[in-house]
Amino acid sequence: MTTIRLTNTKTRTKEDFVPIDPTNVRMYVCGPTVYDRAHLGNARPVIVFDVLFRLLRHVYGADHVTYVRNFTDVDDKINAEAQRRKGLGDPRSLEELIRERTEETIRWYHEDMDALGALRPTEEPRATEWIGAMITMTQDLIDKGHAYEKAGHVLFRVRSYTGYGKLSGRSVDDMIAGARVEVAPFKEDPMDFVLWKPSTDDLPGWDSPWGRGRPGWHIECSAMSRELLGESFDIHGGGIDLQFPHHENEIAQSMCAHPEGGFAKVWMHNEMLQVEGKKMSKSLGNFFTVRDLLDKEIPGDVIRFVFLSTHYSKPMDWTEEKAKAARNEIARWVGMLAIRHDLLDKPLEDHGLDNEMLEALSDDLNTSLAISRLMRTARFLDNSPEFMSLDDRAQYREECIFIASARLLGFDLLELAKKERARAPVKDLGYFELRLVQERITARETGDFAVLDALKSALVSAGLEVRMSKDAVELKVTPVFDPAKLEALK
């Protein structure tokens, strides 16, 4: 079995990945706050962890991996957008407007991430559906002396957990000095963070032992991962911007509530997509959305290719040059496959994967090396003398391996090649148009339309659209076009 090695942020070393239970490998990734369209930076963790999900499914079996990514649908920014709509005169209740905002944002998120070829996670819990579990965990932390209630707030007592700061390698005192921690009269210590806070009557809230309120952001992930993956699971991922305080706080909550579990064994953090050296972010305003690019006719595969060309642990920029190079390379792959009708017209045989590519991916998800390996293979397949010297069977085998390997990175080349083929001009169309014209003349002369009709229906069953007006004949390719059938009519 392939051994996957992953760099664990917790230990700062590359380790062999050994799942707790190989029949159910479990991964949690912090998902988006659903108040607006995802910006391009938000797509990076989606693509990185999608490749890891695919790799885990390949190694342990598709039914033996559980991937959970949450939607944070309790947030001031969501409320603010709903209030803005209400302010503009929308007659609906704030609750309805909030629901509408989160629903539409989740729909956009799915559309955009689907376009990038990302598989949907096994579970996509919404915070609002797990409030009960958050309340239970919060109460448990109070009972164990790790949290306290003050003025309708429940706060986590950071100094009660000695492991605090280990993930990010900081001491609590350094963190206080460096961080903009909120000093509030109800806090015992400035580092303490909110597990529960009161809600005003006009904002969403849930009844709790501490009055009507809502959960803090950090407890969401601790409660949902516990409910869906258990007290210990294999991998926890997210952007490096979440390492502190979000992930540090998740660890503190989960380890104190369930000291017998180990919470996440491996922590993985993707580096940031940057714009002129700064993190692309909503708050800095230096962002564009995934949808902006898709609308500019930059396909999802091109975006995916650009992201995967840089290792997840390195910061990167989005540039026009990178997009152009990615587009050219994918066009080369697709163009080369679009003319291999034998490949496109039957189910792909399983001849395994390119071993070097699999090795690269298994070595801490080295997607940039995996992509270079695919590029090298594409040059080999593209009529190189070595490839041409192979017999048909061996050629077919190499092509199957290439397609399956690209699929592990999330590129569906067969689908792209089929679309390309349907779009490509077919040189024989003119010939058949002429034949239709001639048969029609003959049919009109003889009054026998059988030959003309037979030709027409044969063309239709080859996947062509036949349009015959009084003085023109036109053939068009449809997505089910089959060149082999056309060839047989000659």
Residues that bind ligand ATP (CB under 6 A): 30, 32-33, 39, 41-42, 44-45, 238-239, 241-242, 270, 272-273, 279-283
Query: Is 256 annotated in some ligand binding site?
Result: no
In angstroms, what is the minimal distance from the CB of 70 to Zn ion?
7
Q: Give the number of other Cβ atoms within 10 Å of residue 34's Cβ.
A: 25
List the single partner that 363 binds among Zn ion, ligand ATP, none, CB under 5 to 8 Å by kind. Answer: none
- Residue 487 among known ligand-binding residues: no
Residue 252, interface with Zn ion (CB under 5 A)?
no
- CB neighbour burial string for 273-285, b if at least 16 within 10 angstroms, e if fewer: bbbeeebbbbeee
Residue nearest to ligand ATP (CB): 239
| Other Cβ atoms closer than 10 A to 129 | 13
Q: Taking the complex as a whole, how short is the minimal distance between the CB of residue 122 and ligand ATP, in angstroms? A: 18
Tell me the C-alpha to C-alpha distance, in Å, between residue 227 and each of 63, 85, 129, 178: 19, 34, 12, 34
Is position 250 annotated in a ligand binding site? yes
- Binder of Zn ion out of 30, 56, 251, 337 (CB under 5 A): 30
221 interacts with Zn ion by CB under 5 A: yes
Instruction: Please choose which of Zn ion, ligand ATP, none residue 150 contacts, taking the beta carbon within 5 to 8 angstroms, the exact cut-off set by kind.
Output: none
Of residues 187 and 247, the one with the C-beta less far from ligand ATP:
247
> What amino acid is encoded at 123 in this protein?
E
**Which tokens sit at 481?**
């076009």
- Choose among Zn ion, ligand ATP, none what residue 221 binds, the Cβ cut-off being 5 to 8 Å by kind: Zn ion
Helix 300-308 vs helix 367-381: crossing angle, to nearest 10: 120
Residue closer to ligand ATP (CB basis): 224 or 242: 242
Amino acid (one-letter) located at 196: W
Give the bridge partners for 363, in sequence order: 5
Give whichever of 33 and 208 is closer to ligand ATP, judged by the CB atom: 33
CB of 105 to ligand ATP, least distance (A): 10
Query: 116 vs 147, which CB is nearer to ligand ATP?
Result: 116
Residue 216 binding partner per list Zn ion, ligand ATP, none, with a CB distance cut-off of 5 to 8 Å that depends on partner kind: none
Report whether 439 belongs to an annotated binding site: no
- Give the binding range for Zn ion (CB under 5 A) out of 102-110, 214-222, 355-363, 438-446: 214-222
Q: Annotated binding residue at 282?
A: yes
CA 168/CA 240 separation, integer angstroms: 10
Find, among 426, 354, 351, 407, the residue nearest to 50 by Cα: 407
- In terms of CB distance, is 127 or 280 closer to ligand ATP? 280
Give me the least distance between CB of 26 and Zn ion, in Å please.
15
The DSSP code sequence of 461-483 is: HTTEEEEE-SS-EEEEE-TT--H
SS3 call for 15: strand
Q: Cα separation of 370 and 233, whole Å?
A: 27
Would you say the C-alpha torsion 364, 368, 371, 375 has a positive or negative sign? negative
Nearest CB to ligand ATP, comparing residues 35 and 333: 35
Which residues contact Zn ion (rule: CB under 5 A)?
Answer: 30, 221
Binding residues: 30, 221, 246, 250, 282
